[in-house]
């Protein structure tokens, strides 16, 4: 196999990593007692992390080829295989998914007290589906995992969410399903145009006609743009975040919305390079609009969770801006910022969920001078606030710096506008912090002097995320080294073309097809 490295470890490490949570979900069907269910779920998610660790120690950073590859015939008459592997882009998201799954179990320990078995089964099923997306190298397998994610998240929002949970769950499901249907059409077209194969690596080596690339790019773009979510198909996100339980919000912000950006990296850019270069200026504009719009809307929010949800629209705008800058700085910055956003925004949702358990309110106006009651909580909230606004020394800084550098290199004027978004981001996050922890004391704070600071379980939940804030911020090459070679290969793929490069030349080419 000349485009992949077979499994270096001698045992199916990716298969075990992906399906261990599924095994845990099946096991929970036979377990009684809430505490036993919680401990077994935590054990399964932790074992998944331990099983996956050899991927890091045995990963070859000097090649762009897929590694730890496993391939078995599944439906050979249709060219469908069980085909999995990882490269320098996907490996980071494997560990982000596992880490946030563990922390989501911990933060739900007392918050979820009804239908505990069903909740933890949904969490484990979703972990398997998310991991499957990042390792799939067969389009059929990828689509199965992609769609499988919808069901447990729909259940989490619809069963354990807030008062408008049904509306938010249905809206989330319809938006993402609509995008997925168009992607399915694109996959079917690729199947017939690519020689009746669903092998993602083989399909990436075929040079499709420019107009076909454009149509296929748009089909995949809708699915990925909804998942990111990009402006203007972002409206499902604030509702889903606001109504979801804390664990659902963490997974949604930390992993699920990263899959749209991952789709651009894995499929759109390598498979449709000419269409990518053609549509890149439009996507850059949409990204800058999302950055500014998301930041401005944050200033108008009264609900802490909704504010953080809209900040995700702004931050993911930076990710797509970096990706479609189509240079090494932008791409690496975009990938790193996907990781950073999962850590920081996931932590902010954890913090909101922790304090909601105590006060049963997410309204900003219900707080004030809260730092006097919960100083440890206030200090940790400040760390993630500073990371969110990109303070040097935190993980948010290096990602945004590389993205702005990449944007300046390819689209200077949009780099300037994106930098304005950073200023706005600092404004709404610091204003949120001031209103919650300082200013005038509200009745909720005045009447609840018994509110307790962080307990040991909550501190342990937040500690790994604090570690990564400073580890990435101070020594980012630990993580950038994994992606260098894969990003360089991706840039070579998008620049190898026989078609015109300027917008005017593309228009002339399209006219020639008529």
- The reported pLDDT for the residue numbered 410 is 82
Question: Could you give the CA distance from residue 13 to residue 438 in angstroms, rounded to a whole number?
Answer: 49
Ordered by start, the domain boundaries in the chain are 272-514
Tens digit of each residue's pLDDT (9 = 90 or more) over 20-51: 999 999 999 998 888 999 999 999 999 999 99
Q: How far apart are the first and last CA of the chain?
A: 41
Neighbours of 512 (CB within 10 A): 7
Whether 64 contacts 485, CB under 8 Å: yes
Which of 265, 248, 295, 4 minimizes the C-alpha distance to 119?
248
Q: How sure is the predictor about 513, in pLDDT bands with cuts at 50, 70 and 90?
A: very low
pLDDT bracket for residue 504 (50, 70, 90): very low
| Whether the predicted pLDDT of 121 surpasses 70 | yes
What was the pLDDT predicted at 418? 87
Query: Mean per-residue pLDDT for 69-92?
Result: 88
Contact 282, 242 (CB under 8 A): no
CA distances from 342 to 387, 393, 459, 460 (A): 12, 18, 18, 18
| 339: preceding bond cis by omega (within 30 degrees) | no
Please give the DSSP secondary-structure letter assigned to residue 78: G
Q: What is the pLDDT of residue 2?
A: 47
Among the residue ranges 126-130, 261-265, 438-442, the one predicted with the least confidence is: 438-442
Considering just the CA atoms, what is the radius of gyration of the chain in Å?
22
Quickly list DSSP for 256-307: ITHHHHHHIIIIIHHH-HHHHHHHHHHHHHHHHHHHHHHHHHHTT--BHHHH
Look at residue 10 in the predicted model and tell me its pLDDT: 59
Structure confidence at residue 413 as a pLDDT band (50, 70, 90): confident
Tens of pLDDT, residues 372-397:
888 899 999 999 999 999 899 999 89
Across residues 282-307, what is the average pLDDT? Answer: 91
Residue 86: what are its φ and ψ, rounded to 5°? -135, 155
Of 358 and 53, the structure prediction assigns the larger pLDDT to 53
pLDDT > 70: what percent of the chain?
Answer: 92
- Average pLDDT of the chain is 87
CB atoms within 10 A of CB 159: 17
Q: How far apart (Å, rounded) are the C-alpha atoms in residues 111 and 337? A: 29
Whether the pLDDT of residue 76 is over 80: the answer is yes
What's the rounded mean pLDDT across residues 106-122? Answer: 89
Query: Residue 1: its pLDDT value, please?
Result: 44
Residue range 156-177: mean pLDDT, rounded: 88
CA–CA separation, 313 and 298 (whole Å): 10
pTM of the model: 0.90
**Would you tell me the crossing angle of helices 210-227 and 273-298 to the nearest 10 degrees?**
30
Poorest-pLDDT segment among 118-122, 142-146, 193-197, 225-229: 193-197
What pLDDT is stored for residue 436 in this prediction?
87
């Amino acid at each position: 196999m000349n485009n992949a490295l077979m499994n270096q470890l001698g045992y199916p490490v990716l298969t075990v990593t992906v399906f261990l949570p599924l095994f845990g979900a099946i096991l929970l069907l036979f377990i009684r007692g809430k505490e036993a269910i919680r401990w077994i779920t935590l054990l399964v998610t932790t074992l998944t992390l331990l099983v996956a660790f050899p991927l890091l120690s045995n990963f070859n950073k000097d090649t762009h080829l897929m590694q730890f590859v496993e391939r078995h015939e599944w439906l050979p008459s249709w060219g469908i295989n069980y085909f999995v592997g990882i490269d320098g882009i996907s490996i980071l998201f494997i560990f982000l998914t596992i880490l946030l799954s563990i922390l989501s179990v911990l933060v739900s320990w007392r918050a979820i007290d009804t239908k505990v078995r069903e909740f933890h089964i949904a969490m484990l099923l979703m972990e398997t589906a998310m991991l499957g997306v990042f390792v799939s190298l067969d389009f059929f397998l990828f689509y199965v995992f992609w769609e499988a994610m919808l069901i447990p998240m729909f259940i989490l929002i619809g069963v354990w969410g807030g008062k408008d949970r049904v509306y938010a769950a249905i809206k989330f499901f319809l938006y993402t399903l609509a995008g997925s249907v168009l992607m399915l059409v694109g996959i079917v077209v690729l199947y017939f145009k690519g020689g009746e194969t669903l092998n993602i690596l083989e399909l990436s080596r075929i040079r499709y006609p420019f107009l076909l690339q454009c149509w296929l790019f748009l089909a995949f773009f809708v699915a990925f743009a909804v998942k990111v979510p990009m402006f203007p198909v972002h409206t499902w996100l604030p509702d889903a975040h606001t109504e979801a339980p804390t664990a659902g919000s963490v997974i949604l912000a930390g992993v699920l919305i990263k899959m749209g950006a991952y789709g651009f990296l894995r499929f759109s850019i390598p498979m449709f390079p000419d269409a990518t270069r053609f549509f890149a200026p439009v996507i850059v504009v949409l990204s800058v609009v999302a950055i500014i719009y998301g930041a401005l809307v944050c200033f108008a929010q009264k609900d802490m969770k909704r504010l953080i949800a809209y900040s995700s629209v702004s931050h993911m705008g930076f990710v797509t801006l970096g990706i479609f800058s189509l240079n090494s700085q932008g791409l690496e910055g975009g990938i790193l910022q996907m990781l950073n956003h999962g850590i920081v925004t996931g932590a902010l949702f954890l913090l909101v969920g922790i304090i909601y358990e105590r006060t049963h309110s997410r309204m900003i106006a219900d707080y004030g001078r809260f730092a006097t009651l919960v100083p440890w909580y206030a200090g940790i909230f400040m760390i993630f606030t500073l990371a969110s606004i990109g303070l040097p020394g935190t993980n948010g800084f290096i990602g945004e710096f590389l993205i702005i550098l990449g944007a300046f290199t390819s689209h200077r004027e949009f780099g300037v506008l994106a930098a304005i978004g950073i200023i706005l981001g600092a404004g709404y996050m610091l204003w949120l912090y001031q209103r919650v922890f300082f200013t005038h004391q509200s009745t909720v704070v005045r009447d609840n002097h018994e509110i307790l600071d962080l307990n040991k379980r909550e501190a342990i939940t937040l500690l790994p995320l604090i570690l990564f804030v400073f580890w990435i911020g101070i020594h980012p090459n630990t993580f950038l080294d994994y992606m260098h070679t894969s990003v360089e290969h991706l840039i070579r793929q998008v620049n190898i073309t026989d078609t015109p490069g300027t917008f005017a030349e593309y228009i002339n080419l399209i006219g020639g097809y008529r």
